[in-house]
Amino acid sequence: MRDLRPILLVEDSPKDAELTLAALARCQLLNEVVHVRDGAEALDYLRSEGEFADTRHGGPVVVLLDLKLPKVNGLEVLEEVRKDERLRSTPIVMLTSSREEQDLLRSYKLGVNAFVVKPVDFKEFFEAIQGLGVFWGITNQPPPRAPEGERE
């Protein structure tokens, strides 16, 4: 069964965002892709706060989270989400340019679901994004959200 909740893309670089969106578009997913540009916006969206106070959604089907972000960085967003009772089970995929082991280790310690180093080769990049889209958008059924989290 398809989950049509949106995919949240957290990416500050417009170029990376455009390329990621292009890759996702090629997957021909039905899910809406919501794009925010920093960690603070991402948390606002997830908690339906700030400029997203009026937004009603069942939480994203997956968060594609860039590691290096202005204001609140990816690791901090991840940490906040895992601490938050209502958001805890949101699937998060860390997208990063970094091949640094320390980032990988910290991400897994904080409970990331997947960690993807953005490949230079667009074909690989495309395949990676497509894989994620397909895995989280179509075939995967995220755990049911706690009732108090239901806002729809």
Partner 1 sequence: MPSVSSPAPRELDLSGCASEPIHTPGAIQPYGLLLVVNPRDLLVTARAIPPSLDDLDDPLDAPIDLAFGGVLRACQGTIAAISTDQSVYLGLFELSAHGLFHGLAHRHGDVLLIELEMSVSGEPASLEELYPTIRQFMLSLEKADSVEELCAMGAAQVSELTGFDRTLVYQFDAAWNGAVIAESRNDVLPSYMDLRFPESDIPAQARELYRKNRIRLIADSTYERVPLVRGPSANGHAPTDLSAATLRSVSPVHLQYMKNMGTGASMSVSLVHDGKLWGLISCHNEAPKQVPYHVRTTCEFIGQILALQIAQKERGAKVEERVSRRAAQMHLLGRMTGDGDFVEALKRDEDHLLALTRATGAAIIRREDCVLLGDCPSEEKVRELAQWISAKKDGGDTYDTDQLTTVWAEAGDIAGVASGLLAISISQLHDSYLIWFRPEVVRTVRWGGDPRKEPTDGTLSPRKSFEIWKETVRGRSIPWDDIDRDAAMELRVAIVDIVLRNAEELAEVNEQLVRTNKELEAFSYSVSHDLRAPFRHIVGYSELLTSSARDRLSETEQRFIDTIVESAKSAGTLVDDLLSFSQLGRSSLGKMNVAMNTLVDDVRMSLDMEHQGREVTWLVENLPTVRVDPAMMRQVWQNLIANALKFTRHARVTEIAIGHLQDEHENVFWIKDNGCGFDMRYVDKLFGVFQRLHHVEDFEGTGIGLANVHRIVTRHGGRVWAEGKPDVGATFYFSLPR
Q: Is 44 in the site for partner 1 (CB under 8 A)?
A: no
Question: Which residue in the set 85, 101, 148, 152 belongs to the binding site for partner 1 (CB under 8 A)?
Answer: 101
Q: Any residues with CB less than 8 A from the CB of 3 and at least 6 apart, and which?
A: 31, 61, 137, 138, 140, 141, 142
Question: Which residue in the set 90, 96, 107, 113 belongs to the binding site for partner 1 (CB under 8 A)?
Answer: 96
Q: Is 16 in the site for partner 1 (CB under 8 A)?
A: yes
Q: How far is CA 135 from CA 24, 58, 87, in A?
A: 12, 19, 20
Q: Which two tokens stand for residue 4?
A: 């049509």
Question: Which residue in the set 70, 111, 119, 131 belongs to the binding site for partner 1 (CB under 8 A)?
Answer: 119
C-beta neighbour count of 15 within 10 angstroms: 8
Q: Is 52 in the site for partner 1 (CB under 8 A)?
A: no
Q: Which residues lie near partner 1 (CB under 8 A)?
A: 13, 15-16, 19, 22, 67-68, 96-101, 118-123, 125-126
